[in-house]
Amino acid sequence: MFSIIGIVVVFGCIAGGYLMEHGNIKVLLQPAELLIIGGAAVGTVLISNPIHTLKKIISGVIGVFGSSKYSTEHYTNSLKMMYELLQKARKEGLVALETDIEEPDKSPLFSKYEGFVKDHHAVDFVCDTMRMAVSGGVEVFDLDQMLEADMDVHHHGASEPVTSLSTMADSLPGLGIVAAVLGVVITMSAMGGPPEEIGKKVAAALVGTFLGILLCYGLVGPLASRMGKMAEEEHAFLMVLRVTMIAFLKGVAPIMAVEIGRRTVPGHVRPSFKAVEEACRGARNEAGTAAAAAPAAG
């Protein structure tokens, strides 16, 4: 939402200032210049990136115009889910988690947290880690190192479209110069004609440089920056899950493991201690109610 507002502010202020100086907005409408710059920029992206990166660029740009899913509520629910999972492992043993981690989409525990289940990478991150813990034979330190490597690989993959889009942004001023030079070539070929016609061609050539710089610093560059921040947000979320699981596997009680995880949540979305405690207490009460209802149903 804020990305859309930002784009409107950028283009609105530039157009508004131009009109305040009695500029003719029609002069800036140069489809040929836009085709040269935009088409060439897209072409450079196609040349330098494989298909899977191109798909990530498209999905990343679309995601920029939505709101971040990593809100305080999302962190609270995720920590509550982790508490339920770890509490079950503590009471019934790690083996009891097999039914949940083997088919998380059918797990009664995970199904209560729709926002988390939709994040397939986070689900795999948790389930694969707990699967390793259930199977045994891996020291906690080695498991932590494996999680770090997993996060690094994923973060590198998430950063690829950001780098590609940034490279595209960097190329736009140069492509604007290319469009301007082509405009000058056309202008030179029209020398000797009416001054008004030559003036229009010079203006069109200058618009090429203007568009290249504007698209670089006013649109594509900021989009790449926002995509980078989205990748950082996901990395921070995985770090919370990692810290929570490793703390539990080291022997820390579930509620304390969750608190350790809460402390690694970025400050601007970190839920309060009280909010997480109440959420975990609610999960504990729900589990107690379900356990009491089971014999009655039998």
pLDDT in tens, 133-162: 888 878 999 999 999 999 999 999 999 999
263: amino acid identity, one letter = R
E strand or H helix at 193: none
Q: State residue 286's pLDDT score.
A: 66
Kindly give the interhelix angle for 51-64 and 31-48, rounded to the nearest 10 degrees.
130
Per the CB < 8 A criterion, the answer to whether 206 and 249 are in contact is: no
Q: What pTM was computed for the model?
A: 0.86
List the one residue out of 55, 37, 35 whose CA is nearest residue 46.
Answer: 55
State mean pLDDT over 54-72: 91
Instruction: Give the pLDDT of residue 28.
Output: 86
Burial of 171 (C-beta count, 10 Å sphere; 0-12/13-18/19+): buried
Q: What is the pLDDT of residues 67-102, one digit of tens each?
A: 888 999 999 999 999 999 999 999 999 898 888 898
CB count within 10 Å of CB 67 equals 10
Q: Which pLDDT belongs to residue 294?
A: 46
